[in-house]
Structure 1
């Protein structure tokens, strides 16, 4: 089975983790969302542009109270160079992974380990908050279109982890997988990933996909060990204040 292209996965990110609003400004798409993270506040270039056009994007982002931030995809080498020359710094290089759902949905988590929940429970919000995933990102989850879900993970009869997932086109995408500090390195992230795969399969998705930072060695090792394939990379450029 041919895996989805990196260009398709950019659209899946937008579809499953949507900005509050998007605005076309010349060749740019300006994403507006002050508290949902880089994925929902980074501008992208969608047409031919010049160095002068960058100033228009910067002004549009500042107008809505956001620091100038651009998503640099694999075809954006020229933009990357121009932004570097303007003093922009690299932020959060990430890896994009994908796998056929059937490859991951092979072994269900142990009983009473993973529970499909929508809307998320207060205890899930607590786990996310402890990991730095606060209300702005919960708002992104809330406005994402269905099908979507969260999965609550439990270990030793205690809430121990949580994850959000949504589907766009034929791809399910994992977001905000967080394991409570006291419950890490016990296999729960693997169980939650497989639980998402089974949910995705039941809702008609063909592929399981996700984004993780290149610096997160544990996450990259987990997804590789599950049989997921690195299909692309991107990073952000941010203007230091």
Structure 2
């Protein structure tokens, strides 16, 4: 496992998808954003070998409970051996294993004429992206605050088909890497390759802004998306998972 690569991508993720509040506890980074997305509402190892004991677990759980957020430990592989077993022994269950995938930006990507790129998130981008996501990511107000806090170079993509916005995405470039976030297609048009156009355009934009690689996160169970990204040159960089309290019976 390449701890240097994991740490490099994790540090960029923190900047690309800002939380509202952060705290550090014995090598763990705690992030809080009103519960919108696990990546901004979890405790992740900040340095290789970050460990946990019962007292630190209790402290972290209390911090999340005081915020009204489900206590979530995001395990990236930087944590010390045995951390996951300690959390399992405390009754925290495995939830949504995810892959971080990475692709070189070698110059083969081409911009898509139908994809419009903006340097800042417009109200329409925020509204439409949140609506297309739905579920626990449908809150446009929180999404707007998160993307409004991005300080690195960013591109907000909208794919327009027959004068209708139908797909969206976000690229954030920092120190040679472009992170791709919130790639989403209107529910009634999924499966038509529209997401591919958004990703290709953001990869091209990243290369033009000095990036040599792109990265993204995708749920391990999402085989359709993984196949799409694989066809665009993405390969698994590392796997992470979450440990959360079991749902109430």
The number of equivalent residue pairs is: 235
1:96 is the counterpart of 2:100: yes
Relative to structure 1, the CA distance from residue 207 to residue 45 in structure 2 (aligned partners, 3 Å threshold; closer, same or farther) is closer
- Is the CA contact (8 Å cut-off) linking 1:155 and 1:183 kept in structure 2? no
Q: How does 1:55-70 map to 2 (within 5 A)?
A: 55-70=58-73
Tell me which of 183, 186, 189 is aligned to 1:183.
189
8 Å contact kept, 2:130–2:143: no
Off by >6 Å, runs of 4+ in structure 1? none
Q: 1:154 to 1:80 in 2, by over 3 A?
A: same
Cα 1:54–1:11 shift into 2, 3 Å: same
Per the alignment, in what secondary structure is the counterpart of residue 107 of structure 1?
coil
Trace 1:1-241 onto structure 2 (pairs within 5 A). Answer: 5-46=5-46, 47-76=50-79, 77-102=81-106, 105-109=108-112, 111=113, 113-124=114-125, 125-132=127-134, 133=137, 134-135=139-140, 136-240=142-246, 241=248
Instruction: Give 1:35 shift.
Output: 3.3
- Contact preservation (8 Å) 1:170, 1:205: yes
Structure 2 residue runs without a partner (length 5+): none
Deviations 1:195-222 (A, max 9, x none): 0011111211111110011111111000
- Which structure has more relative contact order (CA 8 Å, sep 6+)? It is 1
CA contact 1:28–1:57 (8 Å) conserved in 2: no
User: Does the 8 A contact of 2:111 with 2:200 survive in 1?
Assistant: yes
Change over 3 Å in CA distance of 1:57–1:130 after alignment to 2: same
1:56-90: CA deviations, max 9, x gaps?
11112222222211111124341111111111111
Structure 1's unaligned 5+ residue stretches are none
CA RMSD of aligned residues (A): 1.9
Moved more, 175-184 or 74-83: 74-83
Shift of 1:118: 3.4
User: Under a length normalisation based on structure 1, what TM-score does the superposition of the two structures give?
Assistant: 0.90
Give the deviation of 1:127 after TM superposition. 3.9
- Kept after mapping to 1: 8 A contact 2:45/2:78: no
Shift of 1:120: 2.7
CA distance in 1, matches of 2:63, 2:169: 33
**1:20, CA displacement in angstroms?**
1.2
Check the 8 A contact 1:174/1:210 in 2, yes or no: yes
How far residue 227 of structure 1 moved from its aligned partner, in angstroms, is 1.2
